[in-house]
Every structure is written in C-alpha cells, then in structure tokens.
Amino acid sequence: NRVGGITEARKIWAMAAAKDLPVVPHGNDLHNLHLVFSQVNTPFTEYFPNVWDGGNTHFWDLYEGNPVVKNGKISMSDKPGLGYTLNHDVVDKLRAKRVGK
C-alpha cells in the first residue's frame, strides 16, 4: 500500500471504523489482503488476475504464492510472514549486470 505501511494502514482503518465508514484498498497484493481479512469495515476487495491488459506482470512473476480467486473467494496463504516466496529465477533475469571495468 502507499500509506506508509501496515501500521499506518491500520490507523486509517481504525479512523474509518470509528465513523462507520468502509475501506477498500487499491490492489490485491498479499500485504493488503492480510489487512482486508483482519478488518470488519472492508466489505470487498479489489482483485487483479495475473494476466491483465496493462501488461505489467513483474509483481506476479517476481513472487510465488500470489492470491488466486476460486469460486469468487480468495484464500490466504498459510506460509510464514506475508506468504510470498521470492522467485529467484526472475530475480536473476531482472538483476542489473555490470558492464565493462
């Protein structure tokens, strides 16, 4: 998210909940989904499938364990932390190479 991290996002949710306002964050990345699933004032979430018209699949390629919708529902990962596994093959392809000396 772009609000300063998980702690700041939770503060926003708390302020909105105090006024009985819903919060629906942009993006379905696992860090946002952890927040969405833990809040009572989030009625739904945004979801982008891994192939979309914008053509930017770096995030989906860079991490394994991205959320997948099944029967209209998203399940959370049971892996430690946020549930991502870094795809080292993609990291190697994207890594900048030093040229010359």
88 among known catalytic residues: no
Task: Give me the catalytic one of 26, 31, 58, 88.
Answer: 26
In angstroms, rounded to a whole number, what is the distance separating the alpha carbons of residues 58 and 94? 9
64 class by beta-carbon count within 10 Å (0-12 exposed, 13-18 middle, 19+ buried) = middle
Q: What whole-number distance in Å separates Cα of residue 16 and Cα of residue 66?
A: 28
Which residues are known catalytic residues?
A: 26
